Structures are given as C-alpha cells and as structure tokens.
C-alpha cells in the first residue's frame, strides 16, 4: 500500500530528493495529507500559505514552460523551492503539449531527469493514464504513490490513531464495531476517509464532553444514529435466537426513526447472503479470512460476526430466507403489499 511506502520513504529520507513525485488514486484524503506533509518537509515549514517558495499549478494553468521556470528559480526564504502541479492534463486521457511530436524540445518529460537540487516537484491527480509520456517519465525518474481505499486493518489503524490523538481509549471489540459502522468498507459506498475522520472526532468529543475517556458500544449507538448497521446486527441476533418479538420491536424503532424500508431490506438481504455463503464455505473447510476473500467482502469482522449468526440456521433455512427476501422486495415494488407491513411479516415468518 502506498501510504506505508511513502511513510517509509519520508522516514528514511528517500522521498527528499530532486526527482518528481506523483500522488494519485481514489483516496483523496491520503493524497491531500501527504501533499501537505511533503510540502512541509521540503519547505521546512508547516505554514506554507502565501510562501514565495511554494508554487501551485492547476489543470490548464499547468503550462510546462512555467513549471520548468518555477523549478529553475532559486528559493528565497526556504531550504528548497516546492512546485505542486495538480491534475496536469498530460497525466490524463486528454491531449496536451507534453505528448506532442517527438521533435518538440525542452519538454517537461525530458526536464524531469534534470530537476535542480534546490527544487522539489510534486504532481497530484485523481486519475492517470499510464500510457502517457508524462506518467512514464515520472515512473522512470521519480516515484509514484497510488492511494487506494484502506483495507480493514488500515482503517482500524487510521481510526485508532485519531482516537489516541484525542486522548480517548477504545477496546478492540468496540473499535471493530465502529470501523464496520462507518460504512467505509461496504461495496459501492460513497463514504471516504474524510467522513471517517469526522466520525472519529465526533465520537471522541461526545465521550470527552461526558467527562469520560473510554468509548463504549452505547456511545456509537448514541453518537452515530444515522448508521443503522449495528441495529441490524441486533435484529439478526434476535431473529437467529428465535426472539421474534424483540426483532420486530427493533424494526419498529428503526422505522419510527425514519429509516427506509428498502435500505433495511437491502441490508438484510446482503447479510443473509453472506451468512449462507459463510455456512457453505466453512463446511468446506475454509477459514473466515478465506471466506471473506471468496465472497469479495472487505470486512473480515463483519463476515465473522455474520458467521456466528449463520451457525444458528441450517442451509435449507438460510436458502429459504434469502429467497423470501427477494420475494418481499418484488412484492413491495409491485404494490402487492405495503412496504412496512411486508418487512414486519417477513421478520415474523423468519
């Protein structure tokens, strides 16, 4: 993972050399974080706003001649001159001067091999085209860091670091619940590390305001009411234990709180599909981590948790439940039954 690679390069000093650096990928939080960290490292100051020795070029402003001229400028008040180029068109699928004819002289791609010792160059982009000349030149003469979404272990470390910074403690089981509750590890989610960081600060502040320094399960439920996932686990626990009255009661509370029937139904369907897969794969001798991989899930904790519920059902029952969930969605969409009643009847039948 590039965030580990760049951390090592910063600590070892390998990142601090007159060679191009490219930060790109889908995790914008990490790109922004390391852009700021590298800029502070190179300039010798945390506060670079308005600095005469830090130049930033954006998209169409990224004129190659201007970039090279800026890099050739000797720093005035800082140890090094820092040039940041954001969304350079030569890194994307668009045509730009950087990829023009082979006879073009003094191109940025050629210049990258000869960056002055007094300058540092950082490229930042969300998307790149690896066939472009500029990308290939950066790969040849510098270092490329791709920031993909964090896995479960990375997300745990990310959250834990921020809780420690706020001087609050959290046990492993509560941390697992928080990590899953953020929704960051779900497929096709729009939640990113910016939202996760906000969740950590909100939760830590909530606990500190109560003059405590230990986060509990109840704090997550109280402080993150918009995140339903822990409530669904409580419903699944009640269903799999045969406590239908409790399950229906939890359902009614969620619906009364404004939760969407279709969102609940989607979560139930996804969870029971995982439970069925877990039951079949564990019977075949696969470990929980292997099952997580086979099912294409990102949270091993979630799969383990659902696996515990799965063992309370036999395979035939789980297959019937999954089929019944599909039927319920179809019946609601066709208007055969009111959506709230459909979900209540479903839980009673399970």
* pLDDT (tens digit per residue) in 306-322: 999 999 999 999 999 99
Tens-place pLDDT, residues 217-246: 888 877 775 554 556 788 888 888 888 888
Can you give the pLDDT at residue 266?
86
CATH, range 2-147: 3.40.50.300
Buried/exposed code over 51-67 (b: 16+ C-beta within 10 A; e: otherwise): bebbbbbeeeebebeeb
Per CATH, 2-147 and 152-223 having the same topology is answered: no
Round to whole Å and give the CA distance between 101 and 110: 13
| Secondary structure string (H, E, C) spanning 230-279 | HHHHHHHHHHHCCCHHHHHHHHHHHHHCCCCHHHHHHHHHHHHHHHHHHH
CATH architecture entry for 229-349: Up-down Bundle (1.20)
Residue 63 confidence (pLDDT) above 90 = no
CATH 1.10.8 assigned to 152-223: yes
Cβ–Cβ < 8 Å for 291, 277: yes
Residue 40 has pLDDT above 80, yes or no: yes
The model carries a pTM of 0.71
Contact predicate 103/74, CB 8 Å? no
Q: Is the dihedral of CA 259, 264, 265, 270 positive or negative?
A: positive
State pLDDT tens for residues 331-348: 999 988 898 899 888 888
**Does residue 73 carry a pLDDT above 60?**
yes
Ramachandran category for residue 305: left, alpha or beta (phi over 0 → left; psi -120 to 50 → alpha): alpha
Q: Where are the domains of the chain?
A: 2-147, 152-223, 229-349
The pLDDT value recorded for residue 227 is: 54
Whole-number pLDDT of residue 228: 47
Q: Residue 225: name the closest of 194, 203, 244 by CA.
A: 203
**DSSP tally for the chain: helices H, then strands E:** 16, 7
Q: Which DSSP state fits 224?
A: -
* Residue 99 in this model has a pLDDT that exceeds 70: no
Percent of the chain with pLDDT over 70: 92
pLDDT value, residue 275: 94
Using CA of residue 201, residue 4, residue 185, residue 176, what is the dihedral sign?
negative
Task: Indicate the average pLDDT of the chain.
Answer: 88
- Two tokens, residue 134: 């500029």
């Amino acid at each position: 993972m590039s965030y580990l690679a760049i951390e090592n390069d910063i600590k070892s000093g390998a990142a601090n050399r007159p060679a191009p650096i490219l930060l790109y990928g889908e995790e914008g939080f990490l790109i922004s974080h390391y852009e700021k960290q590298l800029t502070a490292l190179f300039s010798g100051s945390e506060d670079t706003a308005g600095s005469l020795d830090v130049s930033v070029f954006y998209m169409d402003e990224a004129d190659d001649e201007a970039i090279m001229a800026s890099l050739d400028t000797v720093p005035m008040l800082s140890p090094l001159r820092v040039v940041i180029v954001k969304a350079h068109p030569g890194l994307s699928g668009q045509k730009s001067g950087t990829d023009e004819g082979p006879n073009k002289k003094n191109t940025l791609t050629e210049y990258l091999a000869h960056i002055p010792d007094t300058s540092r160059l950082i490229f930042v982009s969300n998307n790149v085209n690896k066939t472009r000349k500029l990308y290939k030149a950066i790969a040849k003469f510098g270092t490329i860091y791709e920031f993909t979404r964090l896995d479960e272990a990375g997300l745990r470390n990310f959250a834990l670091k921020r809780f420690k910074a706020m001087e609050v403690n959290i046990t492993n089981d509560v941390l697992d619940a928080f990590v899953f509750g953020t929704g960051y590890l779900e497929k096709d989610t729009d939640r990113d590390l910016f939202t996760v960081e906000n969740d950590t600060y909100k939760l830590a502040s909530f606990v500190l305001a109560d003059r405590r320094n230990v986060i509990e399960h109840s704090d997550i439920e109280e402080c993150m009411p918009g995140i339903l996932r822990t409530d669904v686990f409580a419903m699944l626990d009640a269903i799999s234990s045969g406590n239908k009255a409790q399950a229906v009661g939890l359902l009614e509370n969620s619906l009364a709180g404004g939760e969407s029937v279709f969102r609940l139904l989607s979560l139930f369907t996804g969870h029971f599909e995982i439970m069925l897969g877990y039951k079949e794969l564990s019977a075949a001798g696969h470990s929980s981590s292997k099952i997580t991989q086979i099912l294409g899930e990102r949270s091993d904790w979630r799969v383990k948790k659902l696996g515990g519920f799965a063992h309370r059902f036999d395979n035939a029952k789980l297959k019937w439940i999954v089929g019944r969930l599909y039927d319920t969605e179809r019946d609601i969409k066709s208007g055969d039954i009111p959506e709230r009643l459909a979900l209540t009847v479903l839980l009673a039948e399970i």
